[in-house]
Amino acid sequence: MTLTRRMGAEFVGTFWLVLGGCGSAVLAAKFPETGIGFVGVALAFGLTVLTMIYAFGYISGGHFNPAVTLGLAVGGRFAFADVIPYIVAQVVAAIVAAGVLKIIASGNPHFDAAGGFASNGYGDHSPGGYSLASALVCEIAMTFIFLVVILGATDVRAAPGFAGLAIGLTLTIIHLVSIPVTNTSVNPARSTGPALFVGGWALEQLWLFWVAPFVGAILAGLAFRWFEKED
């Protein structure tokens, strides 16, 4: 499969992840009386990844996340030469998806992107008021576990056909745990899209949602190399 086609698959998959996941948070989480809440948002993110893995996993590997791409490369499952092209496709897709979401949300006269727009944050901008240190540790730990599951579930020795389910459910659990802490990133592209439309504090705090997921992903890639190392 050509790199262009693989990048296209990553674009569509990441677009759906941001539109479906962040869209559920912006449009449906607090909808009067029938809001889906944290659980609904967590399921939305997990299901977007699950569906796109089955739709495009055979084309691009189904990363949809710069941290996943880097972690797979460190773990020996992906070519380092393709890391930057994949990340570019993912970030552009996230920005486009956030733009589409803003157009939809702006149809409500009470919508204000400055109110958060599903952006990730810490301190005063953490849903639960958690500190920078808590956010940093949480994002590193959650990304580490996410990559460990991805590396294990996609191994040739794993049960075939279940990787998408395992990965989607893991992302759901990650959101259930960490939405109160950071609004859950574990994905620099997902964080970048909404932050660009919020500006201000969201852009100032965006660094953490690149650094922490990358650190967690690198640690997971190195750990998995150790697990697979033959004595």
pLDDT per residue over 165-209, tens digit each? 999 999 999 999 999 999 999 999 999 999 999 999 999 999 999
Q: Which long-range contacts (CB under 8 A, 24 or more apart) does 132-138 make?
A: 132/208, 134/181, 135/181, 135/182, 135/208, 135/212, 136/208, 136/211, 136/212, 138/177, 138/178, 138/181, 138/182
231 found inside a domain? no
Domain assignment of residue 30, yes or no: yes
Domain count, the chain: 1
Residue 164 has a pLDDT of: 94
Kindly report the CATH number assigned to the domain that includes residue 198. 1.20.1080.10
The band of 112, judged by pLDDT with boundaries at 50, 70 and 90, is confident
Domain, as residue range, for 213: 3-226
Quote the percentage of the chain above a pLDDT of 70: 97
162 has pLDDT over 70: yes
Asked if residue 98 belongs to a domain, the reply is yes
In a domain, 151, yes or no: yes
